[in-house]
Amino acid sequence: MTKTEVEQYLEINQIPYERYRFTDAPIEQSTIPIYKTLVLTGDKTGATIALIPIDQRLDYKKLAKLSGNRKIGLPPIEKVLEMTGYPHGANTPIGIFIHHPDYPMFFDSTIQEHQKVIISAGELGKVVVIATSDLIETIEPVVADLLK
């Protein structure tokens, strides 16, 4: 399996991680939570990134207030690739940070309850398991309650 840009970045920066395909048995049976990356557009900030548990829903009003926007929402799917460099379903906070360190990033506070999390590796079907502390230290997001 070829290494994604995210995996290469983690190796160069000596950040430990494990790599899997989303369908691998260790991932399907894992108790490590999966977090999804949402790409949004704010009326004042433009691109805004949120990381929340895969089985939860974002509270748009909370994120708008935290990010200094009056309104925030999902852009058309075809615009996501243009905004981040990743297709819908492959967005990853690390990859977006590499290319757009100026994009405001927000992680849901539940992430702090876990030692490790599973996030996209930047390609459809590929994920990485990373220590939560390493992810937060690398990206330096705002960590707050983002859920409905």
CATH of segment(s) 5-144: 3.90.960.10
The reported pTM is 0.94
Q: Per the structure block, which two tokens stand in for 15?
A: 């950040």
* pLDDT greater than 70 at residue 90: yes
Average pLDDT of the residues in 30-38: 93
Average pLDDT of the residues in 82-96: 95
* pLDDT greater than 70 at residue 26: no
Largest CA distance in the chain: 43
Domain definitions of the chain by residue range:
5-144
Integer Cα distance of 122 and 120 in angstroms? 5
Least confident span in 17-21, 23-27, 36-40, 57-61: 23-27
**What pLDDT, in 10s, does the model give residues 99-137?**
999 999 999 999 999 999 999 999 999 999 999 999 999
Integer Cα distance of 14 and 75 in angstroms? 34
